[in-house]
Amino acid sequence: MKADAPPLMQLNALRKTYRLRRTLIERLKGVDRVVTAVDGVSLSIQRGSILGLVGESGCGKSTLAQMLVGLLPPTGGTIEYDGTDMSGLAGDAWLNYRQGVQMVFQDTGSSLNPRKRIRTILREAVAARGLKGDCQDTRVAALMEQVGLDIQLLSRYPHALSGGQRQRVGIARALAMEPSLLLADEPVSSLDVSLQGQIINLLRELNENLGLTIVLISHDLAVVARVCDAIAVMYSGRIVESGTPDQVLTAPRHPYTQALLDAVPRGLERRDRKRTILPVESGPILTGCKFRRRCARAVNACETTDPKLATAGPGGHEAACLMVG
Amino acid sequence: MTEELLRIDALHVAFGEREVVRGVDLRIAPGEVVGLVGESGSGKSMSALALMRLLPTGGRISSGAIRFKGQDLMEMPQRAFNALRGSQIGMIFQDPLSALNPAISIGRQMIDMIRAHQPLSHGAAMARAEELLTLVGIPYPKQRLLAYPHELSGGMRQRVMIALAVSCNPSLLIADEPTTALDVTVQAQVMDLLDRIRTEFSIAILFISHNLELVAEISSRVIVMYAGRIVETGEVHDLFAAPRHPYTRQLLRCIPRLDGSHGAMPTIPGLPPRIGALPPGCPFAPRCDRAEAICHNETPPIVWHNRQMAVCHFAKEAVPA
């Protein structure tokens, strides 16, 4: 990874808020009820790298991904893609962006049309790229080979494939657009352990062979750690720790990252060393550190001071915790 | 072994001509936690559903025997079985959202369940429901009784399921992939809760999962299934120290770990065989890294080594995973 080259994608203080429905009294009083899903995320995605985005359900990682592919407009902040701000794009430039940034979804059961054969699903994708006639079939066959699927499966419907095979179709469909950035949102969390590796390895091969930049979103650090060049840990709409897998895994600085590491199943080892269990989340936190009520190390200052991402170690390792540094 | 709580012998489950469970033997002692591991389609869930008489339409037990506390469950009339299921055997599922009724409040569902099995007044059942929600670590239990399933998070819903399952002090809990749909941090909370429930109620648990490491956290004995059959079983320590079936070894290798390793993840190549299209010989042979010619032709023998059993031509080799 070349850190000095300009990043493929640069997020600057990206925000997404949702307004909730207000009661009549709230409307009369002019009170706003707002939920912040993504709260000022700044992140560089280096060309040709694999970035792991880790966090629990509801932390905003999927909202972030949807903003990156252009499915949701950001409330604030900017997304720079290849040096240009995406918000002003229109017409061909916008189409170009949408083709360049593709997404693979978690639930292949609902992201592939159940009434279309795999061949039709992939043909539609290559047709959107402008291919016609026989060229379509050639390209579809090439895509199937690229994701390691037998072309005999083309005449099947999605339900007749296994979960792993369906996920490969999802990846093939994304590749049909010849993207430069692939967002994989929990691509393996609904798969058996024995198949997770196959999909992760496929993503890794695509990264190596095509130079495809990948953002791998997952709640499981153990999956992400293995293949990523950089890891960003999200909590409550913010990046709370980022660095290389080595930095984040061997010297985690944020208490949340430490809890995530501790949560990975460890079999027999677990019987001798009990894990620290994160307390259940109890309502929104408006001031100070968003993690403080679940944090074992929280002090008084955490209630008032909002921690910012700061250097937590050598080589660009950063964490947002008052107890760091 | 001491007195048996559950004893299943040579269970066969079939959908039409297709056998999805092909001769499963299972013993659970009171208070024991047994882990049942396998990939999707290995027959692990079907075995549990057969035991609970919850097989999907078209599925039936084609042969075998199931005894619970000495009673024959196969012969038991439906009414008697209904009374037993829910009160003596509880079950939690992978997806609590589809196991709970979306149109009825949590409290109402819990009270109905409690009163179906116990002679309690509405008020007493409500108090019990609140007590149970507290027990499974749900904050503000009184308010939560009024909530509907969609208003709770996945982890909270699974806690409600566990509260429902243990509401009548069952002696056996069947947990079918209870954490697969959950985040790792929430999974940790639920595993911790199950462990606590087990000691508090001295309840036996059949823990079903595709993740061997997770199963090992809680189980004392592990059963590994492949293509409808048990391929290896043993005490969890023996099985981890020296897995004797190549499938168990390969399964252990696949689990994502935080050991600092980088690069390609180990996988089991190929897919489990389609039911009804089993290869001759050992069904795992086409994916096995230890397979030789004999594996593709001859059915592997059952090999016992102390209290560990493996169904493999090379089960005598104890290779560390």
> Encoding tokens for residue B4?
């048996």
Give the pLDDT score at B148.
94
pLDDT in tens, B224-245: 999 999 999 999 999 988 999 9
Of A165, A267, A275, the CB nearest to B240: A267
Describe chain B by its helix, strand, coil percentages, rounded to 5: 35, 25, 40
Chain B within 8 Å of A308 (Cβ-Cβ)?
Answer: no
Dump the DSSP string for A304-324: H-----EEEETTTEEE--TT-
Distance CA A96, CA A277 (A): 46
Amino acid at A249: L
- Among B245, B254, B204, B243, smallest CA distance to B227 is for B245
Mean pLDDT of A31-42: 88
The predicted pLDDT at position B244 comes to 94
Residues of chain A above pLDDT 90, percent = 61
Q: Which has the closest alpha carbon to B265: B255, B275, B274, B277?
A: B255
A197/B137 CB distance under 8 A: no
A188-240 tens-digit pLDDT: 988 888 889 999 999 999 999 999 999 999 988 888 888 999 999 999 999 99
Looking at residue A325, what is its pLDDT? 63
Q: What confidence score (pLDDT) does residue B222 get? A: 96
Q: Is A3's pLDDT higher than 60? A: no
The answer to whether residues A213 and A183 touch, using CB atoms and an 8 Å cutoff, is: no
Predicted confidence (pLDDT) per residue in B53-64, tens digit: 999 999 999 999
Helix/strand number for chain A, H first, E second: 13, 12
Identify the pLDDT of residue A125: 94
| pLDDT, chain B, mean | 91
Model pLDDT, residue A272: 67
Please, are residues A183 and A101 in contact by the beta-carbon 8 Å criterion?
A: yes
CB contact under 8 A, A265 and B262: no
pLDDT of residue A1: 45
Q: How far is B210 from chain A (nearest CA, A)?
A: 6
Q: Is A152 on the interface with B (CB under 8 A)?
A: no
Q: Where are the domains of chain B?
A: 29-44+72-219, 222-321
Does the pLDDT of residue B185 top 80, yes or no? yes
What pLDDT score was predicted for residue B320?
62
User: Does A280 contact B137 at a Cβ distance shorter than 8 Å?
Assistant: yes
The DSSP string of A64-125 is HHHHHTTSS--SEEEEEETTEEGGG--HHHHHHHHHHEEEE-S-HHHHS-TTS-HHHHHHHH
Q: How many CB pairs under 8 A join A and B?
A: 128
User: With an 8 Å Cβ cutoff, is A204 touching chain B?
Assistant: yes
pLDDT in the model for residue B316: 87
- Whether residue B300 is predicted with pLDDT greater than 50 in this model: the reply is yes
Query: Is residue A265 within 8 angstroms of chain B, CB to CB?
Result: yes
Whole-angstrom Cα distance, residue B88 to residue B102?
25
Chain A CB within 8 Å of residue B321 CB:
no
Sheet containing B71-72: give its strands across.
B18-28, B6-15, B59-68, B71-72
- Contact criterion met (CB < 8 Å) for A221 and B214: no
Is A196 within 8 Å of B254 when comparing Cβ atoms?
Answer: yes
Residue B139 in contact with partner chain A when CB distance is under 8 A? yes
Q: Do B257 and A220 touch (CB under 8 A)?
A: no
In the predicted model, is pLDDT for residue A152 greater than 60? yes
**How does the average pLDDT of chain A come out, rounded?**
90
| B248 touching chain A per CB within 8 A | no
How do beta strands B33-37 and B6-15 pair? unpaired
Mutate to test the interface with B, among A106, A159, A194, A228 (most CBs of B within 10 A): A194
**Option in B188, B250, B267 nearest A201 (CB):** B267
pLDDT band at A256 (very low <50, low <70, confident <90, very high): very high
Distance from CA of A87 to the nearest CA of B (A): 33
Read off the tokens for A165.
Answer: 């095979």
B277 touches chain A (CB under 8 A): no
Label residue A2 by pLDDT band (50, 70, 90).
Answer: very low
Q: pLDDT at position B1, please?
A: 46
Looking at this predicted complex, what is its ipTM?
0.84
Domains delineated in chain A: 7-250 (3.40.50.300), 251-325 (no CATH)
Contact A319, A308 (CB under 8 A): no
| Maximum separation of any 2 CA atoms in chain B, in Å | 68
Per-residue pLDDT at B154: 84
Comparing C-alpha atoms, which of A265, B58, B38 is closest to residue B48? Answer: B38
Tens of pLDDT, residue by residue over B128-158, are: 999 999 989 888 899 999 999 998 888 889 9
Q: Return the residue in B45, B135, B136, B184 with the most chain A beta carbons within 10 A, the one to mutate for interface testing.
A: B184
What is the mean predicted confidence (pLDDT) over A167-176?
96
Task: Give A-chain residues touching B265 at CB under 8 angstroms.
Answer: 196-197, 200-201, 226-227
pLDDT tens digits along A55-80 = 888 888 889 999 999 999 999 999 99
Q: Indicate the pTM of the whole model.
A: 0.89
CB spacing of A246 vs B260 below 8 angstroms: yes
A271 touches chain B (CB under 8 A): yes
Residue among B40, B189, B217 whose CB faces A192 most closely = B40
Sign of CA dihedral A222, A228, A229, A230: negative
B-chain residues near A200 (CB < 8 A) = 265
* Identity of the amino acid at A231: I
**A114, A16, A112, A59: which is closest to A238 by C-alpha?**
A59
Q: Mean pLDDT: which of A90-94, A131-135, A158-162, A177-181 is highest?
A: A177-181
Give which of A255, A228, A242 is closest to A319, Cα–Cα: A242
Interface subset of B 34-53, CB within 8 angstroms of A: 39-40
- pLDDT of residue B84 exceeding 60, the answer is yes
Contact call for B262 and A226, based on CB within 8 A: yes
- Please answer yes or no on whether A194 and B268 come within 8 Å at the CB atom: yes
**Alpha-carbon distances of A240 from A115, A250, A258, B107, rounded to whole Å:** 42, 16, 12, 37
Cβ neighbours of A258 in B, within 8 Å: none
Which of B184, B212, B258 minimises the CB distance to A225? B258
* Low-confidence winner among A166-170, A181-185, A277-281, B2-6 (lowest mean pLDDT): A277-281
Q: What is the rounded average pLDDT of the residues A163-175?
A: 94
B261 CB neighbours in chain A (<8 A) are 226
Of A225, A270, A278, the CB nearest to B185: A278
Interface of A with B in 36-65 (CB under 8 A): 56-58
| Cβ distance of A192 and B210 shorter than 8 Å | yes
Smallest CA-to-CA distance from B88 within B178, B177, B166 is with: B166
CB-CB neighbors (< 8 A) of A282 in chain B: 139
Overall fold of domain B29-44+72-219: Rossmann fold (3.40.50)
- Whether B318 has a pLDDT exceeding 70, the answer reads no
Say whether A265 and B263 touch across the interface (CB within 8 A). Answer: no
Query: Cβ separation of B213 and A197 shorter than 8 Å?
Result: no
Distance CA A46, CA A229 (A): 9
Is B192 in the A-facing interface, judged by CB distances under 8 Å? yes
Question: Given CB atoms, is A250 within the 8 Å cutoff of chain B?
Answer: yes
